[in-house]
């Protein structure tokens, strides 16, 4: 498949995954979790990866986040082969190029919203005087500017997930990986979060890959791929 013809210009592509496989060794047995997976995501696009439990969704997400090395295949981000990066470069890549949103929100406990958003900036070496503006800007995108100094444990579930989204945005990444972002939210909050996702991807050059088993979440994405028994379709 030619990515240039199907997904537009090469320059628009943020994620290019071709022939990706991931095997685990269990004694003599080889477990093939991902089988020849291909995925192309361009700027401004929000792609859902759906699949039942045990289909390899989480493994796929960990490979995308460079937390797990694939067994074979290529993985380019904005045209750069990221599988060749060493451990330190991978960490730099993660903080510069990608943002993560987890199912369980995973905010730092006993910390304020500001401190949660400040941490990626700390690791990125952003100067202290630049941080407040960046943090307010990220919070504004999820309508939470007024909660900037609120302790994270006093936020509602929906607010916590919006803070997690803002934290993923604060370093202005190229793409966001979201793992069941609405998994712990009620319908109303889920819809609100998905609207923010849409707004963020459409209003910027950011790409987003959402791993979910929730049909409503998938409906809000421009494209849905189904991962079944290690094979990605769609």
Query: For other proteins, which residue of 3, 18, 38, 78 counts as binding (CB under 8 A)?
Result: 78
**7 forms part of the interface with other proteins (CB under 8 A):** no
Q: Which stretch binds other proteins (CB under 8 A): 87-95, 204-212, 214-222, 224-232?
A: 87-95
Q: Which stretch binds other proteins (CB under 8 A): 48-56, 59-67, 154-162, 185-193?
A: 59-67
- Our CB check for other proteins shows the closer of 94 and 192 to be 94
The whole-angstrom separation of Cα 137 and Cα 96 is 17
Residue 118: count of CB within 10 angstroms of its CB: 20
**171 forms part of the interface with other proteins (CB under 8 A):** yes
**100 forms part of the interface with other proteins (CB under 8 A):** yes
Query: For other proteins, which residue of 123, 137, 172, 226 counts as binding (CB under 8 A)?
Result: 123
Q: Report the nearest approach of other proteins to the CB of residue 35 (Å).
A: 20
**65 forms part of the interface with other proteins (CB under 8 A):** yes
**114 forms part of the interface with other proteins (CB under 8 A):** no
**93 forms part of the interface with other proteins (CB under 8 A):** yes
Q: Report the nearest approach of other proteins to the CB of residue 88 (Å).
A: 6
Query: For other proteins, which residue of 6, 87, 146, 187 counts as binding (CB under 8 A)?
Result: 87
**81 forms part of the interface with other proteins (CB under 8 A):** yes
- Classified as helix, coil or strand, 204 is coil
**HSE value, Cβ hemisphere, 13 Å, CA-based, for 27:** 1
What token pair was written down for 86? Answer: 């060493």
Q: Summarize as ranges the residues that interact with other proteins (CB under 8 A).
A: 62, 65, 67-68, 78-81, 84-85, 87-89, 91-97, 100, 102, 106, 108, 110, 115, 119-120, 122-128, 167, 171
């Amino acid at each position: 498949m030619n990515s240039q013809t199907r997904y537009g210009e090469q320059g628009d592509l943020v994620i290019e995954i071709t022939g990706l496989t991931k095997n685990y060794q269990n004694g003599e047995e080889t477990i093939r979790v991902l089988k020849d997976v291909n995925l192309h995501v361009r700027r401004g696009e929000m792609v859902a990866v759906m699949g039942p439990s045990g289909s390899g969704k989480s493994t796929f997400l960990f490979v995308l986040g460079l937390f797990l090395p694939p067994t074979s295949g290529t993985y380019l981000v904005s045209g750069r082969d990221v599988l060749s990066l060493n451990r330190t470069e991978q960490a730099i890549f993660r903080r510069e190029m990608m943002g993560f949103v987890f199912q369980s929100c995973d905010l730092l406990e006993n910390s304020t919203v500001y401190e949660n958003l400040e941490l990626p900036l700390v690791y990125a070496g952003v100067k202290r005087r630049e941080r407040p503006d960046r943090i307010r800007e990220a919070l504004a995108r999820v309508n939470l500017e007024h909660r900037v100094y609120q302790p994270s444990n006093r936020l509602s579930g929906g607010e916590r997930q919006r803070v997690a989204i803002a934290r993923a945005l604060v370093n202005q990444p190229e793409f966001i990986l979201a793992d069941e972002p609405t998994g712990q939210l009620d319908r109303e909050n889920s819809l609100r979060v998905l609207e923010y996702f849409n707004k963020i991807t459409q209003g910027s050059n950011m790409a987003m890959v959402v791993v979910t088993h929730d049909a409503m979440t998938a409906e809000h994405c421009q494209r849905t791929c189904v991962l079944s028994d290690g094979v990605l379709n769609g």
